[in-house]
Every structure is written in C-alpha cells, then in structure tokens.
Amino acid sequence: MAKSKAVAKSAPKQENALAAKKSASPYQLDPAQVERAAKGLIAHMKKHAQEKEDKADKKNLAADEDDAAEQDQAIFLTVTTKQHVHDTSRLKPTKLPLPHPIIASDVRICIFTKDPQRAYKDLIYESSDFPAELRTKVARVIGVDKLKKKWKSFETKRQLLAEYDIFMVDDRVTKIVAEALGKTFYSTKSKRPIPIKLVAGAYVDKSKKDDKKKQDNVVGTPTGVAKEIESALSATYVSMSASTNTSIKVGKLSMTAQQLKENVEAVVEKLVEKHIEHKWRNVRGLYIKGPTTKALPIWSAEEMWVDEEKVLNEAPTRAITEGSSKGEKRKKWEEWEEEMLDDEDLEEKRQRRKAKKSKKDPEQTKSRSISKDKRNKLKQEALSSVQTPLIAG
C-alpha cells in the first residue's frame, strides 16, 4: 500500500514535468555551440593581436600602459530578425544585466543630475554610507542648470565627452539633458548617458497627486543610489532601432570562453523574450564577432518567414489607381517587378524597352520636350519669315 501511494504521489509530478516540457519553446540556444564559437573567436582574436604585435617594428611602451583598454577588444552579439523591429531608437537604452561585467573597474564616471546638484554631491562625497570604492569612480556631478550654462559650445561638449569614460543621467531629466548635449553625445551609442534612478532607496507616495513637486525633488539614499550605479556598471545596453540587425556588446577579449558564453545566454534570454516582437519566431540568426572579424553563427532559424501564409509564389497583379502620384506608383511597381526577375529575364525586358524607345520619331520626341509657349513662339517666327505673295485684284 505504501508503494502504491508513493507511485500515486509521483504521478502528478511526472505529468507536470511532461506538460512543462511540451510547453517549452522549441527555439533554444545550444550551450555547446555557443561555447565552441566563443573559444574559436577568442583564439582567433588573440592570434591576430599577437601577429600584429610581432609585425610592429618598434614596441610602443607608452601604448602598453595607456592603451591597455584599447587592446582588450570588445566582443559583440549580432541579432538578425525576419521582420523589422518596430521599437524606434530611444533616448533611454534597454538595460540587459550581465553575470560578468564588461565595463572596466578603473572608469571615470560623470553623472548629470536634477537640480539642486549640491544635494547629490553631498550624498556621494560627504555621506559615510556611500561606498568609498565607488566614490573614487564618480569623478563629477553636474546639475542641469550648470550643464546649460557652462557647456554651450560644440568644443566644450567635445572636451566633456573625451574627459570621462561613462556618463549617467537622472532618469527624470533624460530628455532635458539630451537636448542640452545634442548630437555630440547622442549621434553615436558609445558614450550615450545611461539613465539611473537617483531616487532609489527613498520612499515616494505616488497616491498623493498634489505632492508631485515634492516627489520630483526627492533625493535617494546613499545605499540606494550606490546600488543603482553598481547595477548600471554591471550591465550592457542596446538602443533598438527600426531595422533587422542589432549589435550588442556582450564581452571582451580578456574573458574566458565560459564567461562569454554565460553573458551571451543572459543577453539572448532577456532581449528575445522582452524586446523583439514575435519573440523567437522573428529571430533569423544569432552571431558573435569582434570589431574586425567575421561573424560566427551560434543559432540559425529553419524558417525564413514569421508567417508562411504571407509568402507569395508569384508577383500579385495590382491596378494602378488614378491620382497625382500615378507615375511614382508605376515606377515603384516596375522597380519591385525587376527585383523579382532573374538576370536573363531582366536583360530581355531592358532590351525590349530600349528597342521600343528607338522606334519613336526623333522630331516628335523633340517637339514634346519643348514647352507650349516656346513652340508657339517658334511657329510665329516661321510664319513671319515667309513672304506672302501679292494677289492681283
């Protein structure tokens, strides 16, 4: 009896396990494939770096000390999708936590804060609760008003950009800071300010709408703000744009293949499930690569399309509607039709079009290219040049 009860109790667990297995997504990363690609990529990049160093005529001692971070090359995850990602480029990049941080420990951080900036300076530099090790990394705190007054010109913004390694911004003033910094900071994604919550640790009662101004002026606790900064330093960021190709920094050359594999798996899980429409059904391929290397595949989709019902066996026939843009519609339709043709059929179509144009009367073509007013003027000049014969009365 005891044995039968044990079997009965284990039966529901087995059924739940089978149900979970059936509901699991068939689209999964193969850890072995990711690790093989990581090992191959790291070995290739190190070999190439060694060959480059051996070919150098003279060893640059200053470069070994000052450009160590530059020698530790970045490794990227490239995600290609079947359909365009509809998430447009935003001022707030998507945060993807990493098990192994890729940002160096000796970085210089600049933080843009909501006014008054003195409150945040005291929180970071004066409070004993703020970690001393992290305090050494925060090199500067700049308020919005000071940013607008002191860094107006293009040259001063360029100097600010080059002076610090990482920039962070209070998420309450992200838009204001973006307008103040302009294209100098936001034309590329390399040093775009990372949004953080500087109210972290403080209690905010959102139920009281009348106290909105008080809520905007809330300053977080030293412990809460420190955790926000540390969390930002241990993550990677991606700004999703309306395209089929997205590149994300997931590692560096100094990492082991195991560390790179774990970072790739963590990023893929968060990115596909939360930030790509149709999730795995919309992913065409996943690759890892260095700054100048070829992409190594770690996952490839078997289906070429998200929805097979939308794939047509032949070009549809559409009637061109009347309107002012009739010529533009016809031109676009012909361009699309040419893309669908083979090389031989395309060449044959072009030859027919060329032969058709050559049959046209040159004089007629010339007359059509002249405006109506000019044609009437030429006609009047021709008539006036002919002498009218005298008629005998």
CB 112 within 8 A of CB 177: yes
Quote the crossing angle between the two packed helices 257-275 and 31-55, to the nearest 10°: 120
The CATH number of residue 143's host domain is 3.40.50.790
Number of domains in the chain: 2
- 233, 258, 283 - which closes a domain: 233
Look at residue 331 and tell me if it is in a domain.
Answer: no
Q: Which residue has the tokens 């800071």?
A: 177
For residues 193 and 195, what is the distance between their CA atoms, to the nearest angstrom?
6
Residue 263 lies in a domain: yes
Select from 287, 314, 341 the last residue of a domain: 314
Same domain, 186 and 250: no
33-67 in b/e form (b: 16+ CB < 10 A) is ebbebbeebbeebeeeeeeeeeeeeeeeeeeeeee
Burial status of residue 170 (CB atoms within 10 A of its CB: 0-12, 13-18, 19 or more) = buried
Of 68, 61, 65, 75, nearest in space to 104 by CA: 68
| 121 & 219 share domain | yes
CATH number of the domain enclosing 250: 3.30.190.20
Residues 298 and 287 sit within 8 Å (Cβ to Cβ): yes
pTM, two decimals, is: 0.66
198 and 274 share one domain:
no
Q: Same domain, yes or no, for 175 and 227?
A: yes
Tokens coding 100? 């192994």
In a domain, 175, yes or no: yes
User: Do residues 261 and 118 lie in contact, with contact meaning Cβ atoms separated by under 8 Å?
Assistant: no
Q: Which two tokens stand for residue 216?
A: 């905007």
Q: Are residues 200 and 182 in the same domain?
A: yes
Indicate whether 193 belongs to any domain.
Answer: yes
Burial 227-247 (b: 16+ CB within 10 A, else e): bbbeebbebbbbbbeeeeebe
Q: Give the domain-ending residue among 233, 248, 281.
A: 233
Task: Kindly state whether residue 185 falls inside one of the protein's structural domains.
Answer: yes
**In a domain? residue 214:** yes
Residue 112, beta-bridge partner list: 142, 169
pLDDT tens-digit profile, the chain (393 residues): 444 444 444 444 444 443 444 334 567 888 999 999 999 999 999 988 888 877 775 555 554 444 544 567 899 999 998 888 766 556 678 889 999 999 888 899 999 999 889 999 999 999 999 999 999 999 999 999 999 999 999 999 999 999 999 999 999 999 999 999 998 898 877 888 999 999 988 876 666 554 555 556 788 899 999 999 999 999 998 877 777 888 899 999 999 999 999 999 999 999 988 888 888 888 889 999 999 888 999 998 877 766 666 666 666 666 555 554 566 767 777 776 666 666 667 777 777 877 776 665 555 555 455 677 777 887 787 777 655 554 444
Smallest CA-to-CA distance from 243 within 91, 4, 82 is with: 82
Round to whole Å and give the CA distance between 141 and 135. Answer: 11
Decide: 334 and 359 in contact? Cβ < 8 Å.
no
Measuring CA to CA, which residue among 237, 273, 284, 250 is closest to residue 84? Answer: 284
Pairwise CA distance, residues 302 & 133, whole Å? 49
Q: Is residue 199 part of a domain?
A: yes
Q: Does 340 map to a domain? A: no
Tell whether 108 and 226 lie within a shared domain: yes
**In this structure, are 128 and 182 located in the same domain?**
yes
Q: 45: part of which helix (H) or strand (E)?
A: helix 31-55
Amino acid at 221: T
The residue range of the domain holding 37 is 27-52+71-100+237-314
What is residue 7's predicted lDDT score, i.e. its pLDDT? 44
* Start-to-end CA span in the chain (Å): 142
- Asked if residue 95 and residue 244 are part of one domain, the reply reads yes
Q: Tell whether 246 and 308 lie within a shared domain.
A: yes
Query: Residue 251 corresponds to which tokens in the numbers above?
Result: 């590692």
What is the model's pLDDT at position 334? 73
State whether 220 and 308 are in the same domain: no
The answer to whether residues 75 and 41 touch, using CB atoms and an 8 Å cutoff, is yes
Distance CA 105, CA 359 (A): 75
Residue whose C-alpha is closest to residue 226's, from 106, 133, 140, 141: 133
Question: Beta strands of 106-187 (E only): which ranges?
Answer: 109-113, 138-143, 166-170
User: Looking at the DSSP assignment, which residues form a beta bridge with residue 75?
Assistant: 251
Q: Are 78 and 286 in contact (CB under 8 A)?
A: yes
What count of other Cβ atoms lies within 10 Å of the Cβ of residue 85? 18
Are 218 and 152 members of one domain?
yes
226 with 126, same domain: the answer is yes
